[in-house]
């Protein structure tokens, strides 16, 4: 039995969830190692839109200036289109959130890794966790992470965190049960276009389909079109045709603009995965980000969830490792708080992803989604107030 594992916390996955959690734990003085099978700064499929909660977290952690300095354009309004009716919502500045931002992942993820390293966390790329280690009591005690030349390497830690995405190896190895399952999912095709401009996020809905236009770095727009997953075949065989046909159905004006525009690289597709929530903790382990719960990307809330829960989890781990409470209490609290903030967002997103609404019903769903996000924002801003001495 190892009483003095090398690290307090081993984190598998170094993107929004893993790097943010590592940064916060290292800032609390814990010894943290993060491993990621990928490359620093590599891209992944995303439409990049941060909601207010995600922006607030980056600002509270002192990272929003770097996002702005990387040329990420501020988004000061959101256009929601129902059929052919546009509703414009101005983004009212609130503390820690002067505007919304949609940073490319090649910008945001390395910035979080740099902040984690600066706080003292070790972050190593090109290393894949393949299995978990257990102590004599069956508690998770680290992970098997083969060296780049294939030698067995055991990395020991008091807590192992799976921040390793939808197909989390940590969740699989501990058998984390699903506590909630979604029923619907969306297939999405999109890419980056230079030339056309957009004033703010454009969320475009028409019965049976949806689309989005998101201003991101390098003066580009991220443009995507979505249909229910069952119809993915229509988009899959001929992604360009599926994208343009769906865009024409949903937003003919944007279809005209994009038909002549120059895309940077091929369009890429995501077939869709129904949402899920997993139990996010157990003896010696925890999950965060998509590994913990996944919502259809149509809500554009995954990164915001990850940045929010990174802090809930980091606080719980610090309490577990340094506090006097009974083992598991703080992590149980993490799950409860995650659920309190997520269950309504999850259910609404699942309804929206089904694409079986009419436009009046959709509007009600989006108004309810917006109210649930306001509750989340209130909670995040309250965390600062709690730190201000009376
Ligand atoms: C098409 C699409 C569009 C989206 N659009 C938006 C949007 O507009 N706004 C938004 O907020 N969210 C969006 N999302 C969701 C968002 O991308 C995710 O919620 C977010 O990336 C989750 O971050 P994460 O750190 O939990 O996991 P990931 O980003 O999936 O990162 C997991 C990391 O773990 C590593 N890893 C996995 N397994 C192992 C292993 N065994 N060993 C070592 N490393 C491992 C991977 O290499 C990866 O780097 C979108 C998702 C999709 C699919």
DSSP string, 28-81: TT--EEEEESS-TT---S------HHHHHHHHHTT-HHHHHHTTPPPB-EEEEE
How far apart are the C-alpha atoms of 47 and 190, rounded to whole Å?
Answer: 8
3-class SS shares of the chain: helix, strand, coil, % to 5: 40, 25, 35
Q: Please report the pLDDT score of residue 230 as a whole number.
A: 85
Which atom of ligand 1 is the closest one to the Cα of 294? 19
Which position has the higher pLDDT, 301 or 237? 301
What's the 257 CA to ligand 1 centre distance in angstroms? 30
| Residue 110 CA to ligand 1 centre (angstroms) | 13
Ligand 1 and 48: CB distance under 6 A? yes
pTM above 0.75, yes or no: yes
The whole-number pLDDT of residue 239 equals 59
Q: What pLDDT is stored for residue 388 in this prediction? A: 52
What count of Cα atoms within 13 Å lies in the side-chain half-sphere of residue 99?
Answer: 17
Mean pLDDT of 186-212: 95
The rounded percent of the chain whose pLDDT value lies above 90 is 86
Best residue among 10, 12, 14, 15 to mutate for probing ligand 1, ranked by most atoms within 8 Å of CB: 15
Ligand 1 pocket test target in 51, 127, 290, 298 with most atoms within 8 Å of CB: 290
Closest C-alpha residue for ligand 1 atom 38: 164
Confidence of residue 237 (pLDDT cuts 50, 70, 90): low
**What pLDDT sits at residue 17?**
98
pLDDT for 41 beyond 50: yes
pLDDT digits (tens, 9 = 90+) for 323-332: 888 889 999 9
Question: Probe ligand 1: pick from 46, 191, 214, 352, max atoms within 8 Å of CB?
Answer: 46
Distance in Å, CA 2 to ligand 1 centroid: 32
- Residue 235 Cβ contacting ligand 1 at under 6 Å: no
pLDDT for res 1: 41
Q: Which of 199, 210, 219, 147 is nearest to 366 (CA)?
A: 210
- The pick from 103, 126, 165 for probing ligand 1's pocket by mutation, whose C-beta has the most ligand atoms within 8 angstroms, reads 165
Q: For residue 353, which of 298, 271, 294, 273 has the smallest C-alpha distance?
A: 298
Closest C-alpha to ligand 1, atom 21: 303
Q: Average the pLDDT over 214-230 and give the result.
A: 94
Pairing label, strands 154-162, 140-144: antiparallel
Digit-coded pLDDT (tens) for 302-357: 999 999 999 999 999 999 999 888 889 999 999 999 999 999 999 999 999 999 99
The mean pLDDT value for 270-278 works out to 95
Ligand 1 atom closest to 169 (CA): 41
- What's the CA-to-centroid distance between 69 and ligand 1, angstroms? 23
Instruction: Give the CA diameter of the chain.
Output: 66
Please report the pLDDT score of residue 232 as a whole number. Answer: 72
B/e letters for 73-83, b = 16+ CB within 10 Å, e = fewer, are bebeebbbbbe
Rounded Cα distance, 341 and 109, in Å: 24
């Amino acid at each position: 039995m190892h009483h003095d594992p090398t690290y307090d916390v081993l984190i598998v996955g170094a993107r929004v969830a893993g790097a943010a959690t590592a940064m916060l734990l290292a800032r609390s003085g814990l010894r943290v190692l993060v491993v990621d099978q990928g490359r620093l700064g590599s891209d992944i499929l995303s439409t990049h839109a941060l909601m207010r909660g995600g922006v607030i977290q980056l600002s509270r952690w002192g990272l929003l200036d770097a996002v702005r300095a990387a040329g990420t354009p501020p988004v000061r309004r959101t256009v929601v289109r129902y059929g052919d009716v546009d509703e414009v919502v101005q983004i009212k500045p609130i503390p820690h959130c002067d505007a919304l931002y949609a940073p490319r992942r090649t910008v945001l993820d390395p910035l979080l890794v740099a902040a984690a390293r600066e706080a003292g966390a070790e972050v190593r790329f090109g290393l894949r966790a393949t299995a978990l280690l257990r102590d004599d009591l069956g508690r998770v005690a680290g992970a098997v992470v083969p060296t780049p030349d294939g030698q067995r390497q055991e990395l020991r830690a008091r807590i192992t965190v799976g921040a390793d995405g939808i197909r989390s190896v940590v969740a699989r190895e501990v058998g984390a049960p699903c506590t909630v399952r979604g029923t619907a999912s969306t297939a999405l095709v999109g890419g980056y276009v230079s030339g056309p401009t957009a004033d703010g996020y454009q969320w475009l809905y028409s019965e049976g389909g949806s689309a989005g236009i998101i201003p991101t770095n390098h003066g580009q727009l991220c443009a995507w079109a979505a249909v229910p997953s069952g119809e993915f075949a229509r988009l899959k065989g001929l992604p360009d045709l599926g994208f343009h046909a769906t865009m024409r159905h949903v937003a003919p004006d944007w279809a005209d603009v994009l038909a002549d525009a120059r895309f940077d690289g091929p369009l890429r597709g995501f077939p869709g995965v129904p949402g899920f929530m997993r139990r996010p903790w157990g003896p010696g382990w925890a999950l965060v980000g998509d590994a913990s719960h996944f919502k259809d990307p149509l809500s554009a809330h995954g990164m915001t969830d990850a940045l929010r829960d990174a802090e809930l989890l980091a606080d719980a781990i610090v309490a577990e490792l340094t506090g006097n409470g009974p083992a598991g209490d703080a992590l149980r609290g993490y799950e409860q708080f995650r659920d309190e903030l997520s269950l309504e967002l999850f259910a609404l997103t699942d309804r929206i992803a089904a694409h079986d609404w009419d436009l009046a019903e959709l509007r009600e769903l989006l108004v309810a989604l917006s109210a649930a996000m306001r509750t989340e924002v209130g909670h995040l801003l309250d965390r600062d107030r709690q730190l201000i001495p009376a």
